[in-house]
Amino acid sequence: MEIFGYAFPLSSCPGKDIHLYLGSLYKGGTFKLKAHRKSDGVPEYVFDLGSVTVPKRDVPIQRQWEGYDWSPISLPIPKGTPSGLYYVSDDNNTLDFMPWFIIKPERGIRAKVAIIVPVATQNAYGLGPEVSERNNLYGLNWKVANRAHRLSFLRPLEKNKINITSTLSGWIDTQEWKDEKGAIIPGNQFADYYCSLDLHEDPELLDPYALVILYGHDEYWSPEMRDHLENFIRRGGNVASFSGNTAHRQVGFTSQSECPNAMMICYKDAQADPDKDPHRVTGSFHEPPAIRPPNNMLGVGFTYGGMANDPQVPYTIAVCRNYIENSWGHWALQGIGLDKKSFGEGLGLFVYEFDGTAVEQHNDPDYDSKLITPHWVPTGEEGTPLTFTPIAVADLRDSKEYKKPGIAVMGTYVRGGTVFTASTTEWVGNLGNVNAVPGREIISKITRNVVEKLRYRNVSSQWETIGIALGVQSLTACNGRLYCLTPSTNPARLLWMRFPVGAEIYWRPLTVSLTPDATDFMNKAKYLTGMGTRLFGVSENGCVWRIDVAKNQATISPIVKEATLVNIKGVASVGGSLYAALGDGRLRRLSPDSPSLAWQELKYNGTSREDTTIYMDNPSETITAMTSFGDALYAATSKRRIVRSNGEFVGESDRWVEVLKCPSDLHTTGLAVVETRLFATIASPDKTPPGVLAWTDLSMRRVARNWR
């Protein structure tokens, strides 16, 4: 090994310097160095670093993992150098322990996609040129007793965890990308590259981007990295995680030798860490005292994930077929033939680590035999959103070749921005040699679908059709599920339940039991609303029935038998009360737990309001469906608008203000909200079932209120 070394900071920009720390174990000398941007399948981008005098250096005798404390050589990065991961070589030969670094985008020139190189995980696993017991966080021969707790970036490191970058770069560089005007985007200008430390240090790093890509094995994260990416998602940014075991462990960074954040700290054990700040104790994110499962950020985590070594196990598609469009019922699977019920068999998708979440499989047939396909839904454990959509699963709990049994779940969720997770460390490795290895074309197609959709902002705020609607008369949400009422004289086809995921899955019919005095429910009930764990049916003239649901059984009994209202247009529940909007715009309220059980005028500050009307701007505009979100009412109107009450709470409101347009020019028959997702059912053009179910995100909707 003639020369070796490291770079720090790990990233720099064109027009600025990169600081290399180089040394020789022998006499030293002058070497002609180059930097290579490796990208599989395309010619390397190379620039000269010039002739560099490398001195003989002494390697630390003890505690080499805590840094070498060498002096740097500063070399300029030419302007116009494309962003990416670069390796330094001597005479065009990249040596194992030569420096590597990331070139960030040139100032003022930004792509829409940012890629985060997982250098924290590289530091955790990477070995230096010396052999010692505490060379990384895993110790010599993986012995817990002799692993390090502090690892410096100021040391030569192998590249075993970041070498996969060249496969990702090669896939991106060889794809054809176009901008909004149809102009070709060169592959090496499609994405900007940063590293874990950039994400840790800069809370505004991601602001210019629409999509952030994680990849490979991105296990080690600081609290700041989590904060900055989660804030990016909440503000409408999208994330594609082609990684596994992602954000499993919490680390900290501190300065060393006047180099900010050059030392990484991770005890992997809250009891052993001398820092007792619960926000910073280094260990697993899902364990006390952090209790911050990665499911909150990605929808999946390592608790239900695992470690396997079974190259034959495929991903099995976890959504139903969309028989209207004759395709799989999720956008990530567009272009995947219906004959492909699984993908990835024999590709080694699960020969290392993968992420998952608690899911349940459902096999019951829907009303249409064309949709009889098993599908999976989340249970919401560890912070996984109920609206998280499993796209594919791989059940490795009974695999013969495993180290930690688990269930891999590929999926998406929306909370401001859209998050996709492939949930395996081996995803990107299957983007190489796509045309030469059978099966990899599906991995490439799904990756392309994800990147193409998510490289634009505001994807989540657009309406998206996710399934059929069964000719819904009224829609509501209750206890994290969707329920609908359909016009039928057959109790077996009256009430239906669906899980609130963003893909085609079936509606499950409820077995309805009517008490003797509730037989008029089928003829009179028009509206459905949920409160807590209960459902309520309401007629156009104010009769109310309570619907108790247990599993797939619904028991219906009347609670308000007298018709005291006229021409109800919509019903919703807010804060423990039912609200009915009348045809003239007035509101009435009923508490289903009150002894009086009567519809009442609204009261404001303890007195009846002189005017209980929430006015439309257009007097001829009427409500067609109603729901609630927070302390406000939301309604669809005959003018194809979605409006909300303008006050801080319902009793303070006097106007409907527009939030967005309805998903179609056709009649909106039902609205419901689960988490931050607004669901709408749309009538079919000929007014016959089934119609469609669409959803959008409300978390980014800001409405100007007209205060009373």
Q: What are the extents of the domains in the chain?
A: 464-697
pLDDT digits (tens, 9 = 90+) for 539-577: 999 999 999 999 889 999 999 998 899 899 999 999 999
Confidence at 148, pLDDT banded by 50, 70, 90:
confident
Distance, CA of 467 to CA of 323 (rounded, Å): 10
The answer to whether 510 and 706 have CB atoms below 8 angstroms apart is no
Is the predicted pLDDT of residue 655 greater than 70, yes or no? Answer: yes
- Of residues 692 and 126, more confidence is placed in 692
Q: Is the dihedral of CA 606, 608, 610, 616 positive or negative?
A: positive
The arithmetic mean of pLDDT across residues 591-614, rounded, is 76
The arithmetic mean of pLDDT across residues 224-232, rounded, is 98
Half-sphere CA count of 339, side-chain side, radius 13 A: 0
Strand ranges (E), 56-146: 73-76, 84-90, 100-103, 113-117
Q: Which residue has the tokens 């930690």?
A: 404
pLDDT value at residue 707: 47
Question: At residue 73, what are phi and psi to the nearest 5 degrees?
Answer: -115, 125
Distance, CA of 411 to CA of 394 (rounded, Å): 12
pLDDT value at residue 493: 86
The arithmetic mean of pLDDT across residues 591-596, rounded, is 89
- The percent of residues in the chain predicted with pLDDT above 70, rounded, is 92
Is the predicted pLDDT of residue 687 greater than 80, yes or no? Answer: no
Chain mean position to CA 60: 44
The arithmetic mean of pLDDT across residues 581-605, rounded, is 84
Half-sphere CA count of 458, side-chain side, radius 13 A: 2
Quote the DSSP letter at residue 207: T
pLDDT value at residue 705: 56
Is the predicted pLDDT of residue 364 greater than 60, yes or no? Answer: no
pLDDT value at residue 368: 46
Quote the DSSP letter at residue 424: B
Q: What's the burial of 488, exposed, middle or buried (CB within 10 Å: 0-12/13-18/19+)?
A: middle
pLDDT value at residue 269: 86
Confidence at 281, pLDDT banded by 50, 70, 90:
very high
Is the predicted pLDDT of residue 458 greater than 50, yes or no? Answer: yes
pLDDT value at residue 187: 86
The arithmetic mean of pLDDT across residues 38-64, rounded, is 87
User: CATH code for 464-697?
Assistant: 2.115.10.20
Is the predicted pLDDT of residue 462 greater than 60, yes or no? Answer: yes
Residue 490 neighbours by CB under 8 Å, 6+ apart: none
pLDDT value at residue 131: 56
Confidence at 688, pLDDT banded by 50, 70, 90:
low
pLDDT value at residue 155: 92
* AA letter at 708: R
The arithmetic mean of pLDDT across residues 136-142, rounded, is 67
pLDDT digits (tens, 9 = 90+) for 283-302: 999 999 999 999 999 999 99
Is the predicted pLDDT of residue 367 greater than 60, yes or no? Answer: no
pLDDT value at residue 647: 87
pLDDT value at residue 144: 59
Residue 506 neighbours by CB under 8 Å, 6+ apart: 320, 362, 364, 365, 366, 367, 371, 372, 375, 498
Residue-averaged pLDDT of the chain: 90
The arithmetic mean of pLDDT across residues 216-234, rounded, is 97
